[in-house]
Chains A and B, each alone.
Chain A
Amino acid sequence: NAGVTQTPKFQVLKTGQSMTLQCAQDMNHNSMYWYRQDPGMGLRLIYYSASEGTTDKGEVPNGYNVSRLNKREFSLRLESAAPSQTSVYFCAGSAGTVSYEQYFGPGTRLTVT
């Protein structure tokens, strides 16, 4: 039982390049989330998926797209990376039970030069 996994762990991109961050969970979570973490700003929600087949924008969706491929997998795509997207990205899942707690992956550290 790996929980929430993310690949890659580290990535360096040049401005304008594209890439996809992968997230998978084996906890049977209904809801999945993508956050970015920047110093002094806590976690900000980029996109979320309340259930398989649905996605919706969070607080900071500009420059990103997502795909909920199936119940297990939720990917985040940067179509044309910008230096402002340098950040640490976390994927999380929630079972969708009463208590709302989320379980986080280990993160992807992305640098855009």
Chain B
Amino acid sequence: AQSVTQLGSHVSVSEGALVLLRCNYSSSVPPYLFWYVQYPNQGLQLLLKYTTGATLVKGINGFEAEFKKSETSFHLTKPSAHMSDAAEYFCAVRRSGSARQLTFGSGTQLTVLP
């Protein structure tokens, strides 16, 4: 079975500070991992993904994430927060099976303080 745990339902950072959003997963198949961002009253938008290959993946808007198999983690980072980064972030892992399903974490609300 697959599951995702996002540590911290709410994270606040100051503008210009490092953003670190934590995601740990469990998976019975080689993990494919995803981060999505949701702005208020919008759908989810793919930020970045890891499937195979390089463990440090870069996404849109300056975000990146590192896959660490030994720690079963896929934390999302951005060196310098911007006010426009305020949103909810979801980590997801693929589920086994043929229907291309994902299991989502419960989300982390990021607040950026001026």
Q: 1/0 per residue B40-58: CB within 8 Å of A?
A: 0111111001010000000
Q: Does A25 contact B (CB under 8 A)?
A: no
Q: Which of A41, A48, A107 contacts B99 (CB 8 A)?
A: A48
B94 close to A100 (CB less than 8 A): yes
Q: Does B63 contact A (CB under 8 A)?
A: no
Could you tell me the dominant secondary structure of chain B's interface residues? loop
Residues of B within 8 A of A56 (CB): 99
Residues of B within 8 A of A107 (CB): 41-43
Stretch from B66-74, B75-83, B102-110 forming part of the interface with A:
B102-110
A90 close to B43 (CB less than 8 A): yes
Provided the pairs A98-B51, A99-B49, A100-B94 are in contact, do residues A45 and B101 lie with their beta carbons within 8 angstroms? yes
Q: Does A94 contact B (CB under 8 A)?
A: yes
In this complex, how many residues of chain A approach chain B with their Cβ under 8 Å: the count is 26
Q: 1/0 per residue B85-111: CB within 8 Å of A?
A: 000001000100011111011110000
A42 close to B44 (CB less than 8 A): no
Q: Which of A4, A31, A99, A102 contacts B51 (CB 8 A)?
A: A99
Q: Does B26 contact A (CB under 8 A)?
A: no
A104 close to B104 (CB less than 8 A): no
Closest to A98 in B: B51
Q: Does A60 contact B (CB under 8 A)?
A: no
Q: 1/0 per residue A85-113: CB within 8 Å of B?
A: 00000101010101111111111000000
Provided the pairs A31-B99, A50-B99, A102-B100 are in contact, do residues A43 and B90 lie with their beta carbons within 8 angstroms? yes
Q: Does B14 contact A (CB under 8 A)?
A: no
Interface residues of B (CB under 8 A from A): 9, 32, 34, 36, 41-46, 49, 51, 90, 94, 98-102, 104-107
Known pairs A42-B107, A104-B36. 4 more at Cβ < 8 A? Answer: A40-B9, A45-B101, A48-B99, A50-B98
Show 15 A/B contacts (Cβ-Cβ < 8 Å), sorted by A: A33-B101, A40-B9, A40-B107, A42-B104, A42-B106, A45-B101, A50-B98, A50-B100, A99-B32, A99-B49, A100-B32, A100-B34, A100-B100, A104-B36, A104-B43
